[in-house]
Amino acid sequence: MTGQLNESGRDLQFRHARTNRAWLDQSVSDDTLRELYELMKWAPTSANTCPGRILFIRTAEAKERLRPTLAAGNVDKTMAAPVTAILAYDLRFYEKMSKLSPTRPNAGARWASPLEFVQRMALQGGTLQAAYFILAARAVGLDCGPMGGFDNAKVDAEFFAPGSALESWRSNILCNLGHGDPAKLPPRDPRLDFEEASAIL
């Protein structure tokens, strides 16, 4: 099915979308987080591998565990955000291929090695799904504050430690979620023109 977003939809997803750093005191429900995931999961990945994983950090206790992993400039806005999503990828994504690719019974074995290949596929697909996550969050009425200013190794050690249920996950991007405070948005930075960032051969 092919269609187009109207101008309002394009504004929501792109032209008026901002990286939020200040948050209103409004909670984000479990239902909204589920709605977000149920929307983003349909976007395509290579061979439907779907390696992206999400750990939603919402409680004060979980936020305190996250705090030491953050760059100094990201602490206050992350602590203030109603939810912080650790957008991760699963190095054992291939274990789900029997469900994700039921017509190809050997798909899991195909994607299980070598390790360098697995890591590249997991990172590429997980990063793609992180972008879908941001679009889906905006579509369900949330504002986003994606960021890379954190220590991946510390996040992985704290939340995805060996022996834990999530030991095969690896952190990629953090994304604060909630309802941004429009009064505290700075002026928007410019973007490159088509001719500066594109070529047609």
Q: CA-CA distance, 129 to 93, in Å (whole number)?
A: 13
**Distance between CA 49 and CA 45 in Å, rounded?**
6
Q: What integer pLDDT is reported at residue 94 of this predicted model?
A: 95
How long a stretch of residues is the chain?
201
Q: In angstroms, rounded to a whole number, what is the distance separating the alpha carbons of residues 124 and 46?
A: 9
Rg (CA), the chain: 18
User: 136 is written with which tokens?
Assistant: 């889906």
3 state DSSP class of 199: coil
Q: 80: which 2 tokens?
A: 């203030």
- In order along its 201 residues, the chain shows pLDDT tens digits of 678 999 999 999 999 999 999 999 999 999 999 999 999 999 999 999 999 999 999 999 999 999 999 999 999 999 999 999 999 999 999 999 999 999 987 888 888 889 999 999 999 999 999 999 999 999 999 999 999 999 999 999 999 999 999 999 999 999 999 999 999 999 999 999 999 999 999
Q: Where are the domains of the chain?
A: 19-182
CATH class of 19-182: alpha beta
State residue 46's pLDDT score: 94
Residue type at 146 in one-letter notation: P
